[in-house]
Amino acid sequence: MVKITVGIEGMACGMCETHINEAVRKAFQVKKVTSSHTKKQTVILAEKDIPEQELKNVVANAGYDVVSVSSEPYEKKGLFSAFRG
């Protein structure tokens, strides 16, 4: 799994967040996508990395500006993961 954090300018409210989430879900196979207009970012969890330029195009077509993209390996943290050896 990969966690992709996208910095986005132009979101003003919850509807903007929903608009971006739907655009990302429609364009890519993702496990989870959450946006925050207050943090000015969208966080995507996916099985495999999403090409940065394609992601920028989808967000731009939705009417917003991508200011940064970063990805990192994502490990699901279970409730009891701290107790595993």
Report DSSP letters for 42-53, one per residue: EEEEESS---HH
Closest listed residue to residue 7, CA positions, set 34, 41, 36: 41
Dump pLDDT digits (tens) for 5-14: 999 999 999 9
- In the chain, the amino acid numbered 58 is V
**How is residue 75 written in tokens?**
């490990």
Rounded Cα distance between 57 and 59, Å, is 6
pLDDT tens track, the chain, 85 positions: 999 999 999 999 999 999 999 999 999 999 999 999 999 999 999 999 999 999 999 999 999 999 999 999 998 776 555 555 4
